[in-house]
Amino acid sequence: MHQPIAVTNDFYTKTANCAYSLKSTAKDMALFCDELMKCYNNSNSKVRELFSESMRINDSLSWGNGIGIETHNGTRVYWHSGFNFGFQSLFALYPDTQKYAIVLTNNEQGFSLCTHKINEYLSLTGVYEIPR
């Protein structure tokens, strides 16, 4: 016999840590991306170091200081993704066009939708994932 299970937040961590504990809204993510774009455009900004390559993965993928870097025809796109129980998300900054895109899903299989919508909006063919 089927026994209903109460829906709780017990699975989610109650304390902040370096991974999977950020919870946000589209509006707040947009404010964050606005600030990242301002920092990118300010060459004197200490935050600009986020966009510096720390580790090269291959010819088109690098890891910066907390942000992924993907090169498309000589231009760079900066991104970060979130893979959590029950949802996936992705944002990508395309400074050469002064555009960014954010996709938040409520599905553990939502990453393909994230990449599709971001590529569609930014007119790119990004992967936005570091091979494991």
Domain count, the chain: 1
Q: Give the pLDDT confidence of 104-118 residue by residue, as tens digits.
A: 999 888 999 999 999
Confidence label for 50 from pLDDT (cuts 50, 70 and 90): confident
Residue scoring higher pLDDT (86 or 20): 86
Residue scoring higher pLDDT (6 or 18): 18
- Asked if residue 20 belongs to a domain, the reply is no
- Asked if residue 48 belongs to a domain, the reply is yes
Closest CA to 112 of 81, 86, 69, 71: 81
Tell me, what's the pLDDT at 95?
93
- Asked if residue 11 belongs to a domain, the reply is no
Quick check: 87 pLDDT over 80? Answer: yes
- Asked if residue 36 belongs to a domain, the reply is yes
Tell me, what's the pLDDT at 18?
65
- Asked if residue 13 belongs to a domain, the reply is no
Tell me, what's the pLDDT at 14?
64
59-95 in b/e form (b: 16+ CB < 10 A) is eebbebeebbbbebeeebbbbbbbeeeeebbbbbbbb
Q: What is the average pLDDT value for the chain, to the nearest integer?
A: 85
- Asked if residue 100 belongs to a domain, the reply is yes
Tell me, what's the pLDDT at 121?
96
Can you give the residue range of the structural domain that contains 33? 26-122
- Asked if residue 50 belongs to a domain, the reply is yes
- Asked if residue 63 belongs to a domain, the reply is yes
